[in-house]
């Protein structure tokens, strides 16, 4: 929450014929009358009326796959109800089937939208929420935007370490099964789809590294000329919030929402034991050591409820929207 002091200079005396009419915005106390002695070739009494305004940072919301901005309207309404006067930017592009377009294309296009928002709020900055695929792509938007203005990034049930599972796959490609999906996704054609860009098959890591053009790079699993930037931009955040739960039913494994994933034996490797954390590839270890990484687990929440249940929104999202 930003505390803003608005100064009314409607009754300010003139100094050498010029009115002091700038507005100052600084932390202060509730409405009072403040008088100050100013010396400017003599002594003048400046009386100003000070009003306190409680303002929340603007929020940028990035929707999930095969949906769009309309699917996030309940979350928008809840934010505006509990945090009145919050400016909410509900990302409208790449809705429906266009959300399956190549991940890099979506990320670079979404970056132009986020930049436009940041240009409107250069001082106070904004908070950002990415749901499902939007949390993964939204994180990549930050990594490709060195001067982003995002203070808190909330990843809401997003496949940050990738996706591997039939339940999710059948929602989009009913005829595919996880065991053989690599035959499509780890090809030139398959890499034209967002799902293929973050499909992470534990049985075919060699093909994942050879063909995947997105996830292994933004996670710095494969080092590139952009690796330092991908890490530094996340470290610009005041806070990174990772939210997920065992009853999600879509993100597989659900721990991917916390950057944990299967090993070759299909055992989930906890974040703190994973290479991305141990070697601090994208700054997760640094964020946690500095108290800027929050990992939240909630049971009995299905994937489609994270942004629609008021109790969840109130307990794991709103507290981070300062």
Is-cis flag, bond preceding 253, omega within 30? yes
Could you say which of 63, 221, 303, 307 is catalytic? Answer: 303
* SS3 (DSSP) at 50: strand
Could you say which of 155, 157, 248, 257 is catalytic? Answer: 248
Contacts of 113 (CB under 8 A, 6+ apart): 89, 91, 93
Could you say which of 132, 158, 212, 256 is catalytic? Answer: 132
Contacts of 81 (CB under 8 A, 6+ apart): none
Query: Using alpha carbons only, what angle is made at residue 239 by residues 233 and 240, rounded to the nearest 5 degrees?
Result: 75
Would you call 315 a catalytic residue per the annotation?
A: no
**Is 232 within 8 Å of 222 (Cβ atoms)?**
no
For the CA atoms of the chain, what is the radius of gyration? 23
**Is 250 within 8 Å of 303 (Cβ atoms)?**
yes
Q: Give the integer Cα–Cα distance in Å for 37 and 47.
A: 9
Would you call 303 a catalytic residue per the annotation?
A: yes
Q: Give the integer Cα–Cα distance in Å for 55 and 3.
A: 6
Residues designated as active site = 132, 248, 303
């Amino acid at each position: 929450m930003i505390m803003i002091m608005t100064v009314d200079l409607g009754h300010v005396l003139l100094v050498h014929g010029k009115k002091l009419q700038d507005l100052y915005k600084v932390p202060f106390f509730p409405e009072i009358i403040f008088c100050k002695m100013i010396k400017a070739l003599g002594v003048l009494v400046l009386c100003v009326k000070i009003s306190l305004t409680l303002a929340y940072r603007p929020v940028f919301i990035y929707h999930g796959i095969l949906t769009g901005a309309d699917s996030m309207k309940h979350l928008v309404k809840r934010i505006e109800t509990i945090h009145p006067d919050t400016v909410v930017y509900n990302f409208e592009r790449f809705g429906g089937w266009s959300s399956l377009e190549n991940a890099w294309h979506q990320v670079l296009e979404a970056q132009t939208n986020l930049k436009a928002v940041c240009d409107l709020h250069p001082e106070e900055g904004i908070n950002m929420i990415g749901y499902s695929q939007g949390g993964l792509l939204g994180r990549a938007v930050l990594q490709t935007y060195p001067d982003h203005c995002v203070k808190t990034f909330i990843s809401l049930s997003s496949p940050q370490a990738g996706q591997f599972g039939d339940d999710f796959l059948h929602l989009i490609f009913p005829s595919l099964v996880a065991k053989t999906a690599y035959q499509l996704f780890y090809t030139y054609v398959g890499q034209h789809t967002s799902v293929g860009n973050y499909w992470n098959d534990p049985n075919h890591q060699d093909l994942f590294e050879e063909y995947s053009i997105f996830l292994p790079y933004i996670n710095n699993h494969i080092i590139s000329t952009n690796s330092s930037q991908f890490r530094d931009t996340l470290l610009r955040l005041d806070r990174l919030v990772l939210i997920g739960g065992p009853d999600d039913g879509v993100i597989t494994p659900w721990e991917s929402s916390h950057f944990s994933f299967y090993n070759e034996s299909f055992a989930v490797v906890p974040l703190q034991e994973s290479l991305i954390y141990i070697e601090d590839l994208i700054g997760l270890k640094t964020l946690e050591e500095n108290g800027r990484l929050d990992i939240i687990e909630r049971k009995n929440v299905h994937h489609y409820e994270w942004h629609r249940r008021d109790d969840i929104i109130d307990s794991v999202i709103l507290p981070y929207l300062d």
